[in-house]
Amino acid sequence: MSDETFADLFQVKTVSRKSIQPGDRVEAIVVGISGENIFLDIGGKSEGVLRASELHNEAGELTVAVGDCIKVYFLASRSGEMVFTTRLGSGQTSSRELEEAFQSGIPVEGKVTGEIKGGFSVTVAGQRGFCPYSQMDIRKVEKAEDYIDKTFAFKIIEFGSQGKNIILSARAVQEEQRAQEREQLKETLAEGMQVSGTVTSLRDFGAFVDIGGIDGLIPISELAWGQTERVEDVLSRGQQVQVIIKRLDWEKDRISLSLRETTENPWDQVMTKYPVGSIHQGKVSRLAAFGAFVTLEPGIDGLLHISRLGAGRRIHHPREVLEAGQELTVKIESIDSAQKRLALAPEDYVAKESTHDEQYTPPVTREATSMGTFGDLLKSQTNKKR
């Protein structure tokens, strides 16, 4: 390395050192561990220091070693020493440090101890704080018990009476994290990709899934190949799923997902499983004026035309002989793979000779029957008199 290159690097580090402000998050290298202190190289002339207790696991073991790179927040300069933190509150933290965290926007670690009017009671470094319901999570708090006795990262949004009045927000921390994750996802996600996610909420129109920092929507039509009446019949909150990214719209912050496309399309096997003339058991899923839809398996529905019903007797609506949910045996009459249509008939149906295909033709209603024009009627009466 040339002297010029080394000097350039030294100057860059020096500028970085001078520009750092309380609350800034930086990358640092662990250069030494001594007792309760971890010494950090953050690219400046002097080293920074971090309390070792912040990086202990539940067993009290240190989770970093010399040479590791970690992300830390600059808290303050004290007696010429730069003090850093990963998150205040996990060890011995003074009221002064909590106030510095409030001024600098540094996260603090707090344990939710109970539910009180309007929100939650939270203990931070031995001091009591309050987190409103609206600030506990990005999403609406549905069950308060899900948060009790758990530890979260908070930001102090109010600090008064020398620490006796502390208002906290976990949502502020989560929003910052998701914003960072969102920028990373913009560089990695693409339409057509399969990704894993967690179901965060269920709605009548579909399910929202967290795919790593941003929520996408699975419309109810994309849950399964068959017709889905209730989202709850397919998914549950907290469930881990694999989904296909159908559409990305970063400007409108909308991501459309598909669950059904992670499974085989049942129509790919229709010609093999349901050849023309074969007999199958099905269930009436829906009745319409022109016939009954019969489900042979999830995602495979066929139409039993009204002209095939009634056992030779003319009927005006399928409900005269069928009802939704009824099991029946049907025969495959024809297959239209392009339109994904199956034409069905009762097992014992005998087709009559016909000059046209009436499988998908709605029955003629009484309102559609015409007596002809007034001129036609007059001409008919004249012919009768002759």
Residues spanned by the domain of 202: 191-262
Phi first, then psi, for residue 363 (nearest 5°) are -65, 150
Interatomic CA distance for residues 88 and 60, integer angstroms = 17
Q: Are 52 and 38 in contact (CB under 8 A)?
A: yes
Q: Are 121 and 113 in contact (CB under 8 A)?
A: yes
Interatomic CA distance for residues 76 and 92, integer angstroms = 16
Domain boundary among 86, 120, 145: 86
In a domain, 227, yes or no: yes
| One domain, residues 205 and 143 | no
Token output for 273: 């499983």
- For the chain, what is the domain count? 4
Q: For residue range 25-74, what is the model confidence (pLDDT) as tens digits?
A: 888 899 999 888 899 988 766 678 888 888 888 787 888 899 899 888 88
Res 119: pLDDT: 94
| One domain, residues 309 and 233 | no
Token output for 212: 């790593």
Which residue would you say has higher pLDDT here, 352 or 80?
80
Token output for 288: 């319409």
Res 293: pLDDT: 93
| One domain, residues 257 and 277 | no
Q: For residue range 149-176, what is the model confidence (pLDDT) as tens digits?
A: 999 989 999 988 766 789 999 999 998 8
Angle formed at CA 175 by CA 173 and CA 178, multiple of 5 degrees: 110
| One domain, residues 273 and 346 | yes
Interatomic CA distance for residues 20 and 85, integer angstroms = 14
Res 46: pLDDT: 63
**Cβ neighbours around 129 below 10 Å, total:** 25
| One domain, residues 273 and 314 | yes
If we measure between CA atoms, which residue out of 265, 299, 297, 292 comes closest to residue 280?
A: 297
Mean pLDDT of 223-232: 87
Q: For residue range 70-81, what is the model confidence (pLDDT) as tens digits?
A: 888 887 787 778
In a domain, 382, yes or no: no
| One domain, residues 156 and 72 | no
Mean pLDDT of 171-195: 88
Element (H, E) at 298: none
**Cβ neighbours around 7 below 10 Å, total:** 10
| One domain, residues 253 and 275 | no
In a domain, 224, yes or no: yes
In a domain, 238, yes or no: yes
pLDDT at 92 over 70: no
Interatomic CA distance for residues 198 and 56, integer angstroms = 29
